[in-house]
């Protein structure tokens, strides 16, 4: 890692690790922008200072971030839930927030045209993966359940990339790899026969705080990021409804905590404001119409605190 700054420049600053490339990188940059973390990163440099807070951003491979946060001096980081478990750092870091992007599944995959249809058929054969720990533990349990002896146990071999090509090129009978949309898996002539875990991007901090004076800043940054995530997930729904139908209306729009209810000049009516998940926005509006709500409005959120 390039270190253009003298180490004394980082003294007193919160160190925040960000994936330097890959499937999480661009989303992380959007998240930092939404949280008003301002910085300029020079080309080929992996450390930069934040302009408006005492923070230094450290750009690292996502797979290294749990170790730097759990055992190093890095205070916060963004990485995948799967990476934490693969690095065996779950006891050293705390997952503060699930971020809602980078969602994928770690799955066992085999060729479509082959005879292997379940993990018991695959046990004792060759597995290629970038997740040696997770795959090894998974098939160790299967081998034990099936009573396989030392020479009959499943072989786990590591490759750093192009895992999906291993079966076609004769290196493996099956693979364990991350699946997002499934397009790559299908293009390689594979299908999933088991899921080890579901994963997404997470904000992590050390389970043992390293710098007590940074605790308020960590809390502020966490709150800001939570607000950005909520603003992406929710809209504000406002409408008028008769008091007699208020109970039914608030059952449709309960909000994150509770809806805001305000009186109107017409004592038979009230105004309701509530946060509604974007994914169920249209359905909520339809149901409100059915119970007699009127003047139903939806407002997008640029940012919020939750």
For residue 230, the surrounding DSSP H or E stretch is helix 215-233
Tokens, residue 306:
């939750």
Better pLDDT: 297 or 182: 297
Asked whether the predicted pLDDT for residue 302 surpasses 60, the reply is yes
**Pairwise pLDDT comparison (151 vs 57), residue with the higher score:** 57
DSSP 123-185: TTSEEEES-HHHHHHHHHHHHHHHT--GGGSPEEEE-SS-GGGTTTTTS-SEEEEEESSSHHH
So what's the pLDDT on residue 33? 94
CATH number of 234-300: 3.30.70.120
Length of the chain: 306
* Rounded Cα–Cα distance for residues 169 and 172 (Å): 8
Q: What is the mean pLDDT of residues 9-13?
A: 78
Nearest to 57 by CA among 16, 25, 29, 28: 16
Cα–Cα distance for residue pair 243/110, rounded to 1 Å: 59
- What is the structure's pLDDT at 168? 92
Instruction: Yes or no: say if 64 and 19 are a contact pair by the CB < 8 Å rule.
Output: no
**By the 8 A CB rule, do 44 and 35 touch?**
no
Closest CA to 59 of 50, 47, 68: 47
pLDDT tens for 206-233 read 999 888 899 999 999 999 999 999 999 9
* CA pair distance 79, 75, nearest whole angstrom: 13
Domain ranges of the chain: 7-101+201-206, 104-199, 234-300
7 has a pLDDT exceeding 90 = no
For 163-207, write each residue's pLDDT tens digit: 999 999 999 999 999 999 889 899 999 999 999 999 999 999 999
User: 7-101+201-206: CATH homologous superfamily?
Assistant: Periplasmic binding protein-like II (3.40.190.10)
Q: Cα(90)–Cα(65) distance, rounded to whole angstroms?
A: 12
Q: Map tokens 């090129």 to a residue.
A: 169
DSSP H or E segment with residue 57: strand 55-60
Closest CA to 94 of 12, 209, 196, 248: 209
Residues 275-287 pLDDT 10s: 999 999 999 999 9
* Residue in 235, 232, 229 with CA at minimum distance from that of residue 274: 235
Longest dimension (CA), the chain: 82
**For the whole model, what pTM was predicted?**
0.85
* Distance from C-alpha of 184 to C-alpha of 109, rounded to nearest angstrom: 12
Q: Could you please state the CATH topology (level 3) that the domain comprising 104-199 is classified under.
A: D-Maltodextrin-Binding Protein; domain 2 (3.40.190)
Q: Within 13 A of 198's CA, how many CA atoms are on the CB side? A: 4
pLDDT of residue 2: 44
- 7-101+201-206 and 234-300 have identical folds: no
Q: What is the mean pLDDT of the chain?
A: 93
pLDDT for residue 1 is more than 70: no
Between helix 215-233 and helix 25-34 the angle, nearest 10°, is 100
Q: Which of 21-25, 57-61, 63-67, 276-280 has the lowest mean pLDDT?
A: 21-25
- Beta strands per DSSP E along 180-268: 190-199, 201-206, 234-242, 260-263
pLDDT for residue 11 is more than 80: no
């Amino acid at each position: 890692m390039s270190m253009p700054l003298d180490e004394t420049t980082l003294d007193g600053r919160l160190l925040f690790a960000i994936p330097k490339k890959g499937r999480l990188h661009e989303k992380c940059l959007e998240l930092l922008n939404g949280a008003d973390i301002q910085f300029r990163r020079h080309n080929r440099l992996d450390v930069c200072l934040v302009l408006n807070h005492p923070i230094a951003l450290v750009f690292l491979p996502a797979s290294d971030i749990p170790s730097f946060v759990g055992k190093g001096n890095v205070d916060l980081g963004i990485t995948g839930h799967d990476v934490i478990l693969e690095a065996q750092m779950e006891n050293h870091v705390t997952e503060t927030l699930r971020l809602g992007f980078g969602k994928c599944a770690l799955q066992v995959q085999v060729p479509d045209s082959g005879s292997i249809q379940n993990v018991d058929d695959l046990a004792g054969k060759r597995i290629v993966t970038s997740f040696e720990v997770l795959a090894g533990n998974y098939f160790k349990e299967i081998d034990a359940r099936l009573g396989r002896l030392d020479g009959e146990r499943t072989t786990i071999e590591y490759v750093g990339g192009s895992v999906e090509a291993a079966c076609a090129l004769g290196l493996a009978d099956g693979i364990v790899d991350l699946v997002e949309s499934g397009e790559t898996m299908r293009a390689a002539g594979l299908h999933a026969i088991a899921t080890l875990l579901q994963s997404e991007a997470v904000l992590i901090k050390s389970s043992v705080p390293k710098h007590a004076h940074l605790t308020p800043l960590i809390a502020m940054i966490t709150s800001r990021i939570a607000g950005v995530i909520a603003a992406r997930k929710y809209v504000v729904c406002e409408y008028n409804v008769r008091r007699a139908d208020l109970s039914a209306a608030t059952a449709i729009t309960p909000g994150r905590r509770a809806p805001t209810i305000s009186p109107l000049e017409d004592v038979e009516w009230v105004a309701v404001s509530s946060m509604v998940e974007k994914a169920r926005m249209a359905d909520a509006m339809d149901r409100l119409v059915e119970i007699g709500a009127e003047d139903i409005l939806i407002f997008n959120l640029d940012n919020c605190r939750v």
